[in-house]
Chains A and B, each alone.
Chain A
């Protein structure tokens, strides 16, 4: 398996929680997302967005190789935001 190395990705959310997940470059990123949702109990499964560098969006069917992710890259997690008009805090 020399052509499919292991990488460790870090998921960081707005509360500052960090979740590390080690996976292969050609594995689906769904594993990383599941790991995050499993660790962080108060976030509804599948309710947020995983982003890399603010512009690359992660989908479960992608692999790190497809999105050009490298070892020790930091993935950001954002919970769903909705808004209608009530005065914000």
Chain B
């Protein structure tokens, strides 16, 4: 401790002693001589009215007026103590104590005083001077004489509100007890029935009873949440299977058995295989599968993007698109005639300074290469990679629509503009057709949207899957975990169903 602090401590102790000694003595004297008390009171009022803060002059005078009114009512009261209190607001004394307080903001034994000595303490805050006086006169001066406890609670409440902090004295203890929901305090508030106390009691009741109720319901909520989590954990897999087995409402015209096939749960054996595939400790460069027709090889590292929260990479997406292509060739009658562009197409089409280069992709769709022309297809899927987001454009050649499917709900006007131009150029180049597809653009219907920051690739693949079946996408975020596992399984077996 440095010398200044030590000095201030000494000074403080002195001040304490001074205060402790002087106050009761003065009080005693004044109680004995009632005439003098009257004189002192009027002096105090005068002092207050002529207080040096001009800005609060009105407040001071009004509270003084109030004080006069109260005291006139109080004249019948047998104990003249409360009216004493204005006395100690004399400016000289207040200034002295203010310095003392400023140096010792931390709680000291002096704070552990009885309630009666707490009351003058409020006066030490010069800002609240007139207000504190007001409080003391309204609550401390009137109420507590007749009924001790509720008023004490009330004072504690008000005082701590006024001071903006909780001290360790008796009043605040009562206050905190009340907040904690101590039963005897509640009883008091419920029993409060006297006219003066009534206001206080009702306020206490308003504060404490809902507080108790809410804390109890919070406990209950936490308990229920815990139980729910537990049951979720226990029956998670079963529930998942059940939920997947029960079908979402069919928005489409296809029979129900087709939809159930879309959500067929993996068998236990398949799930184990997928788990070992996604979470094995093999070297990340180890090649898991090679798709011979497209020459795509999937390494361990690439496949790990199908783990929960993984961002899908282009190779996994392209392989899955290849598998969808094969599925369509395998089962003509079940799936629509579609053309699936890979993830590179849109990148290539939009590369270069102009942002559109038809010549760079002109050879991608030759009849010789595809074995069919785009004009024959019912639907054309264009995966679009934008920065770190996957979305899709579905070009419906049959219905002549152009639709942008974004799992984040984007509108993709720029993408649609590019692809409108591409369709026009492509049809002119390959089929010598003059078409203006700008009128084809339709705003997509209600789409299932992703609720996180990692599932857009999976959403995109499933938009393709569902659209190539001629079904509107009727899945949701909660199916994504299942779809990830299912895609891993389908990539592992190189067959999409």
Contact = CB atoms under 8 A, between A and B. Distances in A.
A86 B369 contact: no
B305 A82 contact: yes
Contact of A49 (B311, B344, B352, B410): B344
A49 B457 CA distance: 19
B314 A80 contact: yes
Given A57-B296, A62-B295, A76-B344, A84 B314 contact: no
A57 B292 CA distance: 10
Contacts of A51: 344
B408 A76 contact: no
A80 B453 contact: no
A49 B348 contact: no
Given A78-B347, A81-B313, A86 B388 contact: yes
Interface string B386-409: 111111000000000000000110
Interface in A31-89: 49, 51, 53-59, 62, 76, 78, 80-89
B364 A86 contact: no
Contacts of A14: 347-348, 351
A5 interface: no
B52 to A, nearest CB: 62
Nearest to A66: B295
Nearest to A77: B344
A84 B364 contact: no
Contacts of A62: 295
B450 interface: yes
B312 A83 contact: yes
B239 to A, nearest CB: 26
Contacts of B453: 84-86
B462 to A, nearest CB: 14
A88 B310 CA distance: 17
Contact of A81 (B296, B347, B363, B408): B347
Nearest to A62: B295
A84 B295 contact: no
B3 interface: no
Contacts of B297: 59
B468 interface: no
B385 interface: yes
A89 B387 CA distance: 6
A82 B408 contact: no
Contacts of B457: 83-84
Nearest to A60: B297
B364 A53 contact: yes
B315 A49 contact: yes
Interface of B: 294-297, 305, 310-315, 342-345, 347-348, 351-352, 361, 363-364, 369, 385-391, 407-408, 410, 450, 452-457
Given A85-B453, A86-B389, A88-B391, 4 more contacts: A14-B348, A62-B295, A83-B457, A85-B456
6 contacts: A53-B363, A54-B363, A85-B453, A85-B456, A88-B388, A88-B391
Which 10 A-B pairs rank lowest in CB-CB distance, beginning with the nearest?
A: A88-B386, A54-B364, A84-B311, A88-B387, A88-B389, A84-B454, A57-B295, A85-B456, A83-B390, A81-B314
